[in-house]
């Protein structure tokens, strides 16, 4: 991370940061949202069945996005933390690992999606025409998704360093290619849904090439491209583990998005294909109106991770509060969904049944936009500070525990009532997210009070050093739990003790008042277990070594005084 970007993230003016880094991201996502809207517009003019096929295949596209963006978010968050600690070389290795993971993820996904595309299409629609369109569109997009995976990782590499403009320009170039090619392939060449898919693939390829060659084409304005050389295989494992520890809440959130859309599609298919089309159109249009919120979600991850790594808790609070205010003020989609739902729908379809179902649905769903700000911002907040459990809980609540059951229950009353599930789910999740956030704020305030009390003490040691030796098998879980609780520490590989087993030694510097809390976290995540080993005892007669059961695991903890402590 450059000195200029470090100074920006350290600035006291949160609004200055948001207004500097958010507009490029929002503009890029505005153009990106045109991807889906333009596809739907031209396919809708070509064929109503093709428009339904786009709605059916949408969950598969979301799975691509889930893995690609989730991996990128993990890379972004890990790099931001390394930058916060001043470890630029480790940040570069994390970026290189992300590139390798992107390529591997694409290969696995392309093979699996090809095998399941036809069964999925037949399960989602009874119309043979819709099934064939779905297979054609799905296979082209999935096999050609390498650009999505690479672009998602490389954009996050730049964003971790505070560079929001390069990803914006790169995404605009890809979207522009898609917008220009759509009418050519779909209408002029008469390729229908397959034409839209081919245009999308070429557009994503343009993004990938642009990012890869960024340093050569824009050397005057940009100092580096998103590509970093991957580390050696034996070095890569800890980076892979940390990337997915930080990125899995985002992957899970996106995957759940896919699951619940597939579930809602199946429920709506029991009413009509037009109802499925309306749901697909809602998500296309919603992506346009949620651009400010999505842009802020992208921007605050590196900013919050960097700030939290420096233990600036009060500043973290100001960041999230300002983001919520800004997102609420830009949520103009509420007015459009309430006042002009029919003109919005007519952009894509003139079918009378689609318009009848859609107008009623849009007006109900529009009520969910304001509470959605809370239910979408808070999971990102917790993910950025390394608290995966609240983030995952909120995602599960919003998309699995609330929306699907409520949608199914209301469907038993009638199609017109199903849409009430959207505002209900957002209100419940937003309230739960606010509760988790206030609980975290209270914990931070307690830390600050304890730190102040320690500074007021005279002639006493205000800081303690905890030396914890834990089993290597427990190290990952213990480190994640300690980081989530606000402790920072180096970790070292060690061996010794009973059986000379591999261990991990943690050096945790913390206030005296927090020592007991740290020990409790270690106790909860270091399990004692029984393992079988080969006994070294030699019997009187030759025989094979026989297994012996021994108790291993747990932890050894030492607490010592610190005579001097200073943050530089």
Alpha carbon distance 86, 73 (integer Å): 20
Alpha carbon distance 360, 118 (integer Å): 33
Structure tokens at 100: 């390798």
Structure tokens at 90: 């480790």
Alpha carbon distance 99, 74 (integer Å): 12
| CB-CB neighbours of 452 under 10 Å | 9
Alpha carbon distance 247, 229 (integer Å): 21
pLDDT at 194: 54
Ranges of H-type helices in 419-548: 421-456, 472-484, 515-525
Q: Which helix (H) or strand (E) holds 509?
A: strand 501-511
| CB-CB neighbours of 498 under 10 Å | 8
Alpha carbon distance 322, 309 (integer Å): 20
Q: What is the DSSP string of 38-60?
A: HHHHHHHHH-HHHHHHHHHHHHH
CA distances from 487 to 312, 468, 519, 555 (A): 13, 13, 11, 17
Using alpha carbons, select from 481, 498, 501 the residue that is nearest to residue 489. Answer: 481
104's CB contacts (< 8 A; 6+ apart) are none
Predicted model pTM: 0.59
Using alpha carbons, select from 422, 277, 261 the residue that is nearest to residue 356. Answer: 277
How does 78-105 read in b/e, with b if 16+ C-beta sit within 10 Å? bbbbbbbeeeeebbbbbbbbbbbbbeeb
| CB-CB neighbours of 448 under 10 Å | 12
pLDDT at 530: 53
Alpha carbon distance 511, 45 (integer Å): 66
Residue 190 has φ and ψ, to the nearest 5°, of: 65, 35
pLDDT at 46: 61
pLDDT tens track, the chain, 568 positions: 545 555 556 665 777 777 777 776 677 667 666 666 666 666 666 666 766 777 777 777 778 878 888 888 888 878 877 876 777 788 888 888 888 888 898 888 888 888 888 888 887 777 787 788 788 777 777 777 777 788 788 878 877 776 767 777 766 676 666 667 666 665 555 555 555 555 554 444 333 333 333 332 332 233 335 677 788 888 888 888 888 887 777 777 677 777 778 889 889 988 988 898 898 888 878 877 887 787 787 777 777 877 787 777 888 888 888 888 888 888 877 888 899 999 988 887 888 898 999 999 999 999 999 999 999 899 888 878 877 788 888 888 887 888 899 999 999 999 999 999 999 999 999 999 999 999 988 888 877 666 666 555 544 456 788 888 888 777 877 887 787 777 878 888 777 654 456 788 888 888 877 888 888 888 877 766 555 444 444 444 444 444 444 455 678 888 888 777 665 5
Alpha carbon distance 230, 104 (integer Å): 13
Alpha carbon distance 553, 159 (integer Å): 40
Alpha carbon distance 93, 110 (integer Å): 26
209's CB contacts (< 8 A; 6+ apart) are none
Using alpha carbons, select from 418, 421, 50, 61 the residue that is nearest to residue 267. Answer: 418
Angle of helix 421-456 relative to helix 352-365, nearest 10 degrees, comes to 30
């Amino acid at each position: 991370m450059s000195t200029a970007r470090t100074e920006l993230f350290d600035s006291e003016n949160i609004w200055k940061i948001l207004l500097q880094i958010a507009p490029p991201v929002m503009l890029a996502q505005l153009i990106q949202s045109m991807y889906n809207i333009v596809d739907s517009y031209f396919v809708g003019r070509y064929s109503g069945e093709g428009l339904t096929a786009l709605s059916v295949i949408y969950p598969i596209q979301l799975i691509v996005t889930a893995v690609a963006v989730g991996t990128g978010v993990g890379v972004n968050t890990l790099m931001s933390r390394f930058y916060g600690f001043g470890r630029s070389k480790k940040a570069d290795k994390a970026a290189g690992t992300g590139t390798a993971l992107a390529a591997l993820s694409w290969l696995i996904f392309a093979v699996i999606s090809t095998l399941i595309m036809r069964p999925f299409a037949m399960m989602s629609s009874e119309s043979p025409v819709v099934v064939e369109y779905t297979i054609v569109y799905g296979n082209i997009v999935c096999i050609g998704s390498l650009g999505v995976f690479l672009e998602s990782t490389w954009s996050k590499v730049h964003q971790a360093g505070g560079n929001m403009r390069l990803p914006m320009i790169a995404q605009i170039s890809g979207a522009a290619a898609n917008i220009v090619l759509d009418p050519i392939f779909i209408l002029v060449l008469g390729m229908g849904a397959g034409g839209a898919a081919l245009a999308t693939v070429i557009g994503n390829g343009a993004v990938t090439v642009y990012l890869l060659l960024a340093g050569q084409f824009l050397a005057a304005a940009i100092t580096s491209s998103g590509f970093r050389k991957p580390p050696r295989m034996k070095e890569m494992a800890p980076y892979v583990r940390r990337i997915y520890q930080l990125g899995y809440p985002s992957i899970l959130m996106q995957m759940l998005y896919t699951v619940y859309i597939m579930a809602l599609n199946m429920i709506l298919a029991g009413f009509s294909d037009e109802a499925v089309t309306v749901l697909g159109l809602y998500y296309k249009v919603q992506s346009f109106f949620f651009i400010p919120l999505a842009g802020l979600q992208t921007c605050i991850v590196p900013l919050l991770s960097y700030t939290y790594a420096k233990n600036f808790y009060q500043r973290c609070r100001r960041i999230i509060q300002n983001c919520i205010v800004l997102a609420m003020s830009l949520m103009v989609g509420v007015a459009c969904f309430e006042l002009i739902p029919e003109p919005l729908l007519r952009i894509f379809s003139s079918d009378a049944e689609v318009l009848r179902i859609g107008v009623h649905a849009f007006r109900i769903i529009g009520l969910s936009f304001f509470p959605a700000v809370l239910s979408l911002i808070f999971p990102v907040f917790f993910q950025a500070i390394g608290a995966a459990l609240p983030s995952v809980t909120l995602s599960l609540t919003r998309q699995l525990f609330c929306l699907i059951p409520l949608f199914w229950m209301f469907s038993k009353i009638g199609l017109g009532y199903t849409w009430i599930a959207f505002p209900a789910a957002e209100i419940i999740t937003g309230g739960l997210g606010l509760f988790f956030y206030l609980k975290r704020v209270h914990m931070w305030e307690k830390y600050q009070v304890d730190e102040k009390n320690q500074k007021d003490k005279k002639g006493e040691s205000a800081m303690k050093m905890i030396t914890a030796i834990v089993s290597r098998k427990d190290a990952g879980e213990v480190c994640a739990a300690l980081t989530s609780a606000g402790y920072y520490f180096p970790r070292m590989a060690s061996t010794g003790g009973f059986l000379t087993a591999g261990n991990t030694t943690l050096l945790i510097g913390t206030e005296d008042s927090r020592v007991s809390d740290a020990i409790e976290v270690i106790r909860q995540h270091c399990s004692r277990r029984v393992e079988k080993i080969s006994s070294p005892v030699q019997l009187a007669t030759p025989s094979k070594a026989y297994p012996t059961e021994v108790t291993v695991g747990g932890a050894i903890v030492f607490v010592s005084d610190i005579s001097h402590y200073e943050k530089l």
